[in-house]
Amino acid sequence: MGLQSQLGEKGCVVFQVKGDDKIIFDSGPIKGSDLAKEVSVSVVGIKELKLITSAGSYVTSVLDGNYAVWGEPRLVK
């Protein structure tokens, strides 16, 4: 997960994974200059899974370009 590389230093987002309406992962602020990160989260017993990306209060202008990328999310048994 991360932001599109062509953004350079621009952009800032937060990635969250929710399981049954509870946050089970929160990336904190990820900036355009940060490297992509790999995430592994246990979803054992979870019935509903949501991948959420938000800019929250980190957007300073429309031109910041918050183009988030989850990469290749997958469920592994």
Output the six-digit token pair for 57: 């209060």
Q: What is the pLDDT of residues 7-41, one digit of tens each?
A: 566 778 889 999 999 999 999 888 878 888 888 99
Token pair for 3: 């932001």
Domain boundaries, the chain: 2-57
Which residues, 6+ apart, have CB-to-CB distance to 66 below 8 Å? 3, 11, 12, 13, 55, 58, 59
The whole-model pTM stands at: 0.79
Residue 35 φ/ψ, nearest 5 degrees: -75, 155
Give residue 42's pLDDT band: very low, low, confident or very high (50, 70, 90).
very high
Q: Which two tokens stand for residue 11?
A: 């952009």
- Is residue 63 pLDDT above 80, yes or no? no
State the Cα–Cα distance between residues 14 and 55, nearest whole angstrom: 6
